[in-house]
Amino acid sequence: MKAMVWTQYGPPEVLQLQEVEKPAPKDSEVLIRIYATTVVVGDCELRGLKMPLMFRLAIRLFVGFTKPQRVTILGQELAGEIEALGAGVSSFKIGDKVFATTGLRLGGYAEYTCLPAEGGGIALALIPANLSFAEAAAVPLGSLEALHFLQQANLRPGQKILIIGAGGSIGTAAVQLARHMGAEVTAVDSGGKLDMLRSLGVSRVIDYTQEDYPVDGERYAAIFDVAGKSNYSRCLQALSEGGIYLIGNPSLSHRLRRMLTPARHGLRVFSDTASHRRADLEHIRELVESGAIRPVIDRYYPLEQVVEAHRYVESGQKKGNVVITVRG
């Protein structure tokens, strides 16, 4: 089968199209014929080890110290069709159209992959009936991450939320989920993404290249910083009583300050890593089918152009999702 293989740690060019052995499902696994996957910022960070030192070390220990060995194909979400079942699988059947997050296995940049039918930090479910494979591939990761954080906020209709980094895959899902909960959304991102965010029905947009945020005097029931780049103190000051500060990619400083915040300020700070579950992905599927949320897709690339897709995602211009079509 064809796959875009992760040959080294480094720039996009370390991804190379190769012929590799087609996998076979083990007990409790399914073999998926992949039709589409995505390139997310996390793929680029993994590829180039663009992360804090302690995380770089952890990735090298897990994936391979000098080069990728244990995991050689990136891709954190996918949509496709089940081609074969391992022993003991009863929750799916051959021919089911599915979408999934791939967890630590990764593997989306290929024509086939095997995933556990249940558990293992992987969410696998039938795709929404109203989406194509390419559209469905852009849903699982961003939506599950956004749901994980917004569930902590317990937003009520009319409450205000500030979403920082709203223009990416997680941010666009968070905007729509917050609006579905009845919240008034203020979205922060760069100028080129603001029209897209307005189309999602946000109450207000802020171009962080032109003005500071949070705006002095504004108060929010929740602030969700998707990328973990906001000013910690300013965000705490902008929370209303009982408010919550959600940090999607916390720095070491964020983690240390979080331990002191509840006692000193009477506010909540949440930055725990999401655990992807099938039940949550099925909930997302229902929201997509009802029209409450939809995937926001910026560009499509064929599998052969994953290198170009990585360059585009790293440029910071991505609006929503970048989809890789593995087969026509």
- In the prediction, which pLDDT does 51 show? 84
Band of pLDDT at residue 24, cut at 50, 70 and 90: very high
In the structure encoding, which two tokens stand for residue 55, read together? Answer: 């995380």
Contact 121, 300 (CB under 8 A): no
pLDDT greater than 90 at residue 215? no
CATH 3.90.1300.10 fits 2-139+295-325, yes or no: no
What span, in angstroms and rounded, lies between the C-alpha atoms of 250 and 236?
Answer: 15
Closest CA to 294 of 135, 188, 146: 135
Taking residues 218-229, what's their average pLDDT? 94
Per-residue confidence (pLDDT) for residue 266, from 0 to 100:
73
Cα separation, 159 vs 166, whole angstroms: 18
Given this model, what pLDDT does residue 265 score?
Answer: 65
Sequence spans of domains, the chain:
2-139+295-325, 141-270
How confident is the model at residue 264, as a pLDDT?
Answer: 61
Confidence of residue 328 (pLDDT cuts 50, 70, 90): confident
The CATH classification of domain 141-270, taken from the options 3.40.50.720, 3.20.20.70, 3.40.50.620, 1.10.510.10: 3.40.50.720
Look up the pTM and report it. 0.94
- What tens digit of pLDDT does each residue of 243-264 get? 999 999 877 677 777 777 765 6
Percent with pLDDT over 70 in the chain: 98
Residue 189 pLDDT greater than 80, yes or no: yes
Give every CB contact of residue 146 below 8 A, 6+ residues apart in sequence: 170, 171, 173, 174, 177
Domains 2-139+295-325 and 141-270 share a fold: no
